[in-house]
Each structure stands twice: as structure tokens, then as C-alpha cells.
Amino acid sequence: MTAPRNESSGADNFITVADVEAAARRLKGQAIHTPAIVALDLGERLGVPCAVKAESLQRTGSFKFRGAYNFVATMSPADRARGVIAPSSGNHGQAVACVAQIFGIPATIVMPTTVTAIKRAGVERYGATAVLAGTTTDDRMSAAQELAASTGAIIVPPYDNLAIIAGQATCGLEIVTDEPAAQTIVVPVGGGGLSGGVATVAKLARPGIRIVVVEPEGAAKLSAAWKAGSPVAVPKPTSAADGLLAVKIGARNFAHLHRFADEVITVTEKEIAAAASYLFRELKLVSEPSGATSLAALLSGKVRPTGETIAVLSGGNISIDALRDFCASA
């Protein structure tokens, strides 16, 4: 689905390249500058050079560390001292827990009752308190708001925030800096922090680059927003890609994607599983279902690249047993 070009986005603020560069300076020495790993077999299949930006190798196992660190680093010392709360399906929570440990402040992570053991363990490993609440993003945000009201702690939003978007956008800044010949970036979308940030900085730095955003068929909230022209709720999103199950795209995130992304693609569960299997088998990369979604669009043929292509592998927080079972479903 090609992006609409109506500039009336419903949000007033956008990140700039300067914002992303400032975030990159804050992250220097904390975040990992992740590699773009060449996928020779995929490139031969598609007839163009292809690589995978391995955010699974990022600190805490996903891109989420970038935004969480940038948000907390820009808080005032007085606000940081109040502690932080994060509503999260897992990866954002692990990132916030790690960042809180770095800054020496308390953290509470509100997670779904369906959270995987590996993601909850990741949060607790960094000394944060895990609280379980419901199964949807709305459930978690409501619980986080109640905790914030009673404790005075500051909520670190998972995606709909300019500091978060600018932090996630440093992934895109690395791509356009490291891969000057790249013509297409394929990136997954959940709430829109990563995809909105990557699309924005890539387009501002290189206006001719193509940005393709990918989501599961069962959680197609961006596709719904594309058609409606504004964020709309998708009731009961379902997918093994638990990091992409936001009920609705963030307002600021949609504004960035509406302006800077070129198209949105949906992929099936089997296509995601095949991509996760490919990543493990061919590139020796562990990917959770959410992380494999962008590659699924390439392997399935739903994205036809016209030049050097970079697929963002957004995270790798999954147990080996769960990965084996998921790949077997392909």
C-alpha cells in the first residue's frame, strides 16, 4: 500500500536531523553501533545487494535501548530521581530497566500477563520491578498511569514521544552513514517509534531513499491508519510478533510515517516464521518474530527492491526453544 501524501498529519512536531545527531552523541559509548550484515544468498535471489541491520545485537537485545536512553538522558536530575515506569510487552521494559540501572534510579515495568519468561527475566536482571497488567497496550498504559499517580515516578513512553523517536532514529542515521549506496530500507512497525524515526532521518538525509514499513496481517494498525488518514484502533491484534501488537499507531509516529514513509506491507505468520528461520540458518542471527518481520517482506517477494536494500532486524529476545518451535511453523 503506497503512502498518502497529504501533509495534514494531525501532529505539530517532528524530529530533525539535528535532534537525531544530538541523540547519537548522548548514546555514544552506551549504545552499540550495530552492523549491517551482508545477506549474500538473499542478494542473489533478489538481484540486488542486501544486508540486515542487526539490532538484535544492540544492548538489551533490541533497538529499544536507543530511545529509552535518550529519553532518560534528557530528563532533569530532579525528575530522574523520582524513578521511572514503563509500560512494555518486553523489549522497551528491558531497555528502560537497563537505563535506570545505568543512571542509578528505580524502575517499575508494567508487562502483559502473557509476557515471555525471557523478557520478564531480562527486566528483573537489571534490578527493575515487574508488574503484570492485562494483555493490551491500553491495559499496560492504564496501570502505568495509576502507578505514576501514586508514586510520582515518570512514565517512559514506548513510542509516542519525540525523544524516544529521535533515539530510535539513530538506527537510521547509522544506516545512511554506513551504507551510502542503500536505496531501500525495510523496517517493522509496532507503535511506530523505530519506523517513524528511521523513515524521517533517512528521508531528510537522503530524499530519494525508499522506506518500506512492514507489519503482521493480524496487527495491521498502520495499514488501517493509512486508509483512514489518522490513527485508528485495531481491536484484538494477534501475532507471534508480540512487540508489534500496539492497538493503535502513535499519533506522533503516524505523523512522521505519513510524511516520510513510502509504503506499508503486511506479512503472514508463516512468512515471519520463514524469515526467522532464514536469519538463524543463513546469517546465524537469532531473531524474535517481531524482528524478522521486515525480512519476511523481502523473502516473500512482497517488496521488490530496485537497489541496495537494508532490512532492520529489530530484536532478538527469544529463547532457543521458542525460536525452534516458531520456525517449525513456517
Over its C-alpha atoms, the chain yields an Rg (Å, rounded) of: 18
Which residues make beta-bridge pairs with 6? none
Q: How many residues does the chain have?
A: 330
Contact by Cβ (8 Å): 109, 140: no
Contact by Cβ (8 Å): 148, 173: no
Q: What phi and psi values does residue 120 have, to the nearest 5 degrees?
A: -65, -40
Determine the Cα–Cα distance for residues 19 and 11; give it in Å rounded to an integer.
17
Contact by Cβ (8 Å): 280, 287: yes
- Decide the pairing of beta strands 84-87 and 154-155: parallel
Determine the Cα–Cα distance for residues 130 and 102; give it in Å rounded to an integer.
18
At 263 the pLDDT is 96
Contact by Cβ (8 Å): 195, 265: no
The full DSSP string for 260-293 is H--EEEEE-HHHHHHHHHHHHHHH-----HHHHH
Terminal CA-to-CA distance of the chain, rounded, Å? 25
Nearest C-alpha neighbor of 201 from the set 68, 301, 66: 66
Contact by Cβ (8 Å): 48, 308: yes
**DSSP-based three-state secondary structure for 327:** helix
List the Cα angle 166/53/28 in 5-degree steps: 45
Nearest C-alpha neighbor of 141 from the set 86, 201, 206: 86
At 4 the pLDDT is 38
Place of cell 551482508: 38
At 116 the pLDDT is 84
Per DSSP, 127 falls in state T
Contacts of 104 (CB under 8 A, 6+ apart): none
At 150 the pLDDT is 94
At 118 the pLDDT is 84
Place of cell 547519537: 24
Counts for the chain of helices (H) and strands (E), in that order? 14, 10
All domains of the chain in start order, with CATH: 17-62+161-328 (3.40.50.1100), 64-155 (3.40.50.1100)
Nearest C-alpha neighbor of 187 from the set 233, 158, 222: 222
Determine the Cα–Cα distance for residues 68 and 73; give it in Å rounded to an integer.
8
- Decide the pairing of beta strands 50-54 and 84-87: unpaired
pTM over 0.85: yes
At 137 the pLDDT is 78
Contact by Cβ (8 Å): 201, 169: yes
Mean pLDDT by runs of 10 across the 330 residues of the chain is: 41 86 98 97 95 98 98 96 91 95 96 87 92 86 93 94 97 97 97 97 97 97 95 91 91 96 97 97 96 97 94 95 92
